[in-house]
């Protein structure tokens, strides 16, 4: 009877174990925490957005971008959906986002752990792996005060993101020792730190915006949605979705600037709209006019940034002041000087190169019978269930190959 060890009891690790388990093998999950799936409970603000209908390639990022289309396929996405349907997860969809109908991440956790135990997977918590050695017919895994031999090994230890959940990046060290090259892990889906003197004054504001990223003065991409203005810079889903480019760019010494459109509801010429709107209230000062469509704290920051007196009337502004005001409203420029640490990042950008794994099985091309799943890979997605999709899929395919069975069984 073959023994398969899964190091890590997170999303990809537990799914790997479920997918690998048959009557003819022994599957052991080694989890360093006192319980499994700790990080899963934090996803989607505790509601667990576990999948998304929109699985276009631009939702994912990797240095080896050409390999993504071998992983994110229609057939593979069907595997993920079928897996959860067969487990009995009743879902509801909102704008293409899948949630358990219970609105609780604990639903997904309990169903996954229940299935693993039903199949006979052995889950050993409080198990700290300290070393891995390649043997002639498998691996020697050193854990706590003992060593365990296995024929096949799945490493699912997670990245360096959210270290309070137990992810400290130890998997990178193991895989580096085993011969894999590691693209430097950097925080992703993370708040941005800006060089802006009025940041403390706008802290707490939430606003619907369009935000555009410029790297070394070249336009990269834009996102729309709610932004959170903070005392250190900016946060929110639309900024998170730019962060993987920004962290890599800053690491490479590039200039990163975002431009914010605070008036995305204006369809057409912004100057003309603002001019007509403000001139329609000749008895109001500029501050009172802007309060008609902007948060009052944001009005203060915008006027200070333009150097315009609050009590001036719009009709008394000089032409260059009007242009400067409009520029601040729809093209507010912020220099990104850093990002928040791994403690605040949902995932990592970087990891094991996709070129070093078989995208059909997630088996290492360097070490036979070694599999790598989830956040350890240099494959991260945007907000919206994409990173969990990578976890589920890599776990399903790695487990299927390691257990040498079909997913349907």
pLDDT tens-place string over residues 328-348 = 999 999 999 999 999 999 999
* Short-list 126, 96, 101, 104, CA closest to 40: 104
- For residue 162, how far is the Cα from the chain centroid? 11
What average pLDDT score do residues 354-382 get?
98
Tens of pLDDT, residue by residue over 79-93, are 999 999 999 999 999
Residue 385 half-sphere exposure toward CB, CA atoms < 13 A? 24
Contact (Cβ atoms closer than 8 angstroms) between residue 232 and residue 194: yes
CA angle centred on 153, ends 151 and 155, rounded to 5°: 175
* Short-list 72, 66, 29, 20, CA closest to 51: 72
- Give dist(CA 38, CA 109) in Å, integer: 9
Residues sharing a CB contact under 8 Å with residue 126, sequence separation 6 or more, in sequence order = 31, 32, 33, 34, 144
* Short-list 326, 325, 317, 382, CA closest to 349: 382
- 98 φ/ψ angles, rounded to the nearest 5 degrees: -95, 130
What average pLDDT score do residues 387-407 get?
90
The DSSP secondary-structure symbol of 285 reads B
CA angle centred on 121, ends 156 and 381, rounded to 5°: 30
Q: Which two tokens stand for residue 13?
A: 């690790």
Q: Which two tokens stand for residue 79?
A: 């595997």
Q: With bands split at pLDDT 50, 70 and 90, how would you rate the model's confidence at 168? A: confident
What average pLDDT score do residues 192-197 get?
94
pLDDT above 70: percentage of residues in the chain: 99
Q: Which residues pair with 228 in a beta bridge?
A: 206, 235
What average pLDDT score do residues 231-235 get?
97
Least confident of 20-24, 108-112, 167-171, 318-322: 167-171
Contact (Cβ atoms closer than 8 angstroms) between residue 382 and residue 18: no
- Give dist(CA 129, CA 149) in Å, integer: 13
- Give dist(CA 76, CA 194) in Å, integer: 39
Residues sharing a CB contact under 8 Å with residue 259, sequence separation 6 or more, in sequence order = 211, 212, 214, 331, 332, 333, 334
Tens of pLDDT, residue by residue over 31-55, are 999 999 999 998 888 899 999 999 9
> 138-143 and 146-150: which strand pairing?
antiparallel
Q: What pLDDT is attached to residue 45?
A: 85
Q: What pLDDT is attached to residue 409?
A: 37
State the sign of the Cα–Cα–Cα–Cα dihedral 374, 375, 380, 386.
positive
Say if residue 17's pLDDT is above 60.
yes
pLDDT above 90: percentage of residues in the chain: 95
- Give dist(CA 35, CA 209) in Å, integer: 40
Residues sharing a CB contact under 8 Å with residue 49, sequence separation 6 or more, in sequence order = 43, 97, 98, 99, 384, 385, 388
Q: With bands split at pLDDT 50, 70 and 90, how would you rate the model's confidence at 387? A: very high
What average pLDDT score do residues 248-262 get?
98
Q: How many CB atoms lie within 10 A of CB 298?
A: 20
Q: What pLDDT is attached to residue 405?
A: 52
* Short-list 162, 103, 117, 90, CA closest to 14: 117
């Amino acid at each position: 009877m073959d023994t398969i060890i899964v190091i890590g009891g997170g999303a990809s690790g537990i799914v790997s174990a479920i997918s690998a388990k048959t009557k003819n093998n022994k599957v052991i999950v080694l989890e360093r925490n006192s319980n499994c799936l700790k990080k899963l409970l934090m996803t989607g603000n505790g509601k667990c957005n576990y999948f998304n209908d929109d699985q276009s390639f631009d939702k994912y990022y990797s240095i080896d971008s050409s390999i993504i289309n071998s992983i994110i396929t229609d057939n593979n996405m069907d595997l993920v959906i079928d897996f959860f349907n067969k487990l009995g997860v009743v879902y509801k969809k909102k704008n293409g986002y899948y949630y358990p109908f219970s609105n609780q991440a604990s639903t997904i956790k309990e169903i996954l752990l229940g299935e693993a135990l039903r199949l006979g997977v052995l889950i050993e918590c409080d198990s700290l792996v300290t070393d891995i050695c390649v043997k002639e017919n498998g691996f020697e895994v050193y854990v706590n005060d003992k060593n365990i031999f296995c024929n096949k090994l799945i490493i699912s230890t997670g990245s360096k993101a959210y270290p309070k959940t137990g992810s400290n990046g130890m998997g990178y060290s193991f895989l580096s020792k085993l011969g894999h090259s590691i693209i430097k892990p950097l925080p992703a889906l993370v708040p941005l730190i800006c060089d802006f003197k009025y940041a403390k004054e706008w802290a707490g504001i939430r606003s619907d915006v369009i935000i555009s990223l410029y790297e070394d003065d070249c336009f990269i991409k834009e996102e729309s949605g709610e932004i959170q203005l903070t005392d250190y810079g900016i946060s929110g889903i639309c900024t998170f979705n730019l962060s993987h480019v920004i962290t890599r760019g800053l690491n490479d010494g590039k200039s990163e600037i975002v431009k914010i459109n605070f008036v995305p509801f204006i369809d057409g010429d912004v100057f003309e709209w603002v001019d007509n709107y403000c001139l329609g209230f000749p008895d109001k000062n500029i501050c009172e006019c802007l309060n008609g469509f902007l948060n009052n704290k944001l009005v203060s920051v915008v006027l200070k940034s333009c150097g315009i007196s609050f009590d001036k009337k719009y009709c008394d502004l000089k032409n260059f002041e009007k242009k400067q005001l409009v520029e601040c409203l729809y093209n507010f420029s912020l220099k990104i000087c850093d990002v928040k640490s791994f403690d605040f990042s949902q995932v990592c950008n970087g990891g094991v190169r996709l070129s070093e794994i078989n995208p059909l099985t997630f088996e290492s091309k360097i070490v036979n019978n070694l599999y790598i799943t989830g956040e350890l890979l240099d494959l991260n997605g945007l907000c919206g269930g994409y990173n969990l999709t990578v976890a589920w899929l890599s776990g399903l395919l790695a487990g299927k190959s390691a257990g040498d069975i079909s997913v349907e069984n």
